[in-house]
Amino acid sequence: MGIFSNLIRENLWSRKEYFWEFDGYKVPRIISGKSRNVEDVVLDIEKNHNNLLENNKDLPNVREFKKFFKSKYDFKLIEEFPVPINPDTWKDIYRGLGGKKSSTENKGWFSLDFYIPELGVAIQLDSKIAHGTNDNKIRDNAEDIYLWSTHHIVTIRSSKLQFEDLRKEEFIRLEKEINLFERKTLKFDYSEEFIKFIEDYYKEELGFIRKYLFNNSFYNEITGERTDSKKDELVISKLPKEDQSFLEDTVINSFIMEGIELTRQENISYLYRLLFKKEVIFKP
């Protein structure tokens, strides 16, 4: 689907319904769900972020870390910072460390417990229940490597703040580690992760467009200019029966009015209009 990459970047990644402006960062609004394939579920990043904040607000380790940080630093602290995953990079790192759990391998994103943007540091508050198994340790190590190799974020992990008698000593350690870092500026570009998700999310529709409409779209992929002003047309009755039936299938488009059911034909018309800035006419 690589022929659509520039179109997706220019004409979808710029539209509000496709990204979430989060704390000065541009994040895909919907991505593949945690430990699921895109065909099974999509995840609304903003809604999930808000749910995480609500669920975590009374956790002792979260509450105590925020109090500690506020008392020591004037840096900005972002809670539950979303990081969409490049699937190919993630799989290479996870498998390279010996990871074998398919649900972990297929993760579409992860959320940083706390992120300090002025230092490029992530603070992950681990629990023994969720992080104690061998595969979870491999996953955590893979996440740390991924964050550094793709975004130059260094991860500091802590598993002791859930225990009251260990907090004082742990805060001393955390302060020493945080103080090692100097201010820096990091930029995030999630466009490649977004493009890969869109190519998966609209895989069937893009396949149809490529098969029947792309060569007739009068679109110069190199210059980005239209070379003809005519409307693109497709005669449905001339298509093979299976493709006629495909156009009648219904699917949920999660980007329209928070998700409505459309026929494939309606979905293709919508997507085609956004990609090519032009209508496509389906004739009987």
Matching CATH number, 19-178, of 1.10.3470, 1.20.120, 2.60.40, 3.40.1350: 3.40.1350
**pLDDT score for 198:** 93
Residue-wise pLDDT tens digits, 24-34? 899 999 887 65
What pLDDT digit, counting tens, does each position of 52-99 carry?
999 999 999 999 999 999 999 999 999 999 999 998 999 999 999 999
**How does pLDDT run across 216-264, given as a tens digit for each residue?**
555 555 554 555 555 688 899 999 999 999 999 999 888 887 778 999 9
pLDDT of 107:
85
Q: Tell me, what's the pLDDT at 167?
A: 95
33-37, 115-119, 182-186, 205-209: least confidently modelled range: 33-37
Statement: residue 130 has pLDDT above 60: no
Q: Compute the radius of gyration of the chain from its Cα atoms.
A: 23
Domain ranges for the chain, please list them: 19-178, 202-283
